[in-house]
Amino acid sequence: MADNLEKIELEFLLNTSPAILFNRLATPSGLSEWFADNVNVKGDIFTFIWDGSEQKAQQTHRKENKMVRYQWLDEDMNESWFQFEINIDELTGDVALIVTDHVDPNEKDDAIELWNQQVETLKHGLGSA
């Protein structure tokens, strides 16, 4: 299944500091505010819980206040990862969140809509909506 995934990149402007945003992207408490119903961590393995179902991902890359990447550990998603990158515009100082994900091409529109909804929740939590 992972062979036919399509990579998507979405960019969202957020009115917040990179340090505050990074906390929401890289910690269980931050992620549970907007990304999943609950998030547990043991070492570098994060367990994301949605509506009672669990998915595990390993935090494989982490650069403080810059980016974090999670590799899904499910067998059918073994090549699939998602990444949050924080970009700061050198001229304006604007903070942008770049989400990279791998999705089934048939579910691309749904995946983009889901990311849009989740980032809206993130913006509300940051007070930058």
Alpha-carbon distance 57 to 94, whole Å? 30
DSSP-derived letter for residue 21 is: H
Residues 77-106 have pLDDT tens digits of 667 899 999 999 999 999 999 999 999 999
Number of domains in the chain: 1
pTM score, whole prediction: 0.91
Going by C-alpha positions, the residue among 14, 9, 47, 40 that lies closest to residue 125 is: 14
Residues 26-68 have pLDDT tens digits of 999 999 999 999 999 999 999 999 998 999 999 999 999 999 9
Write the CATH number for 97: 3.30.530.20
Tell me the residue range of the domain where 98 lies: 2-126
DSSP-derived letter for residue 89 is: -
